[in-house]
Amino acid sequence: IVDIARGMVLPVFSVPASKLTRAQTVPIGSRAGPYYVRLTVLDRPGVIADVSAALREEEVSVEALLQRGRSEKGSVPVVLTLHETVEANMQRALARIAELDTVVEPPCMIRIENL
């Protein structure tokens, strides 16, 4: 805002448009990075073991897991952050998790970008 007030015109991203280059792209299945996943599961023994088994089968490693309290509805949220893995493995793991009888809503995944 100060630059605008002073009448200074700066290029977007501090680089003149003529110097910008096209970013390298890869197929989404090849993208590698960490992930955030939120699940809604029934509060029963063995549910976390089943989720972990699905992740293990696709070579996805858990960095952190959080599950709090019990619910009158019988379901609880589970939040996971996962170590860097390939998107294709992550998608297969989520498909396995979604098929579990104890998972009551489709899994929610967010890619974590390390900028």
Q: How many domains does the chain have?
A: 1
Residue 15 domain-assigned (yes or no): no
21 falls in which pLDDT band (50, 70, 90)?
confident
Domain containing 29: what range?
A: 23-111
Residue 102 domain-assigned (yes or no): yes
Residue 2 domain-assigned (yes or no): no
| Confidence (pTM) | 0.77
Tens digit of each residue's pLDDT (9 = 90 or more) over 91-115:
999 999 999 999 999 999 999 998 7
Residue 7 domain-assigned (yes or no): no
Q: Please tell me the predicted confidence (pLDDT) of residue 76.
A: 96
Q: Please tell me the predicted confidence (pLDDT) of residue 54.
A: 98
Report the alpha-carbon distance of residue 97 to residue 95 in Å, rounded. 5
Residue 16 domain-assigned (yes or no): no
Residue 39 domain-assigned (yes or no): yes
Contacting residues for 60 by C-beta, under 8 A, at least 6 apart = 82, 83, 85, 89, 90, 93
CATH code, domain with 75: 3.30.70.260
Residue 6 domain-assigned (yes or no): no
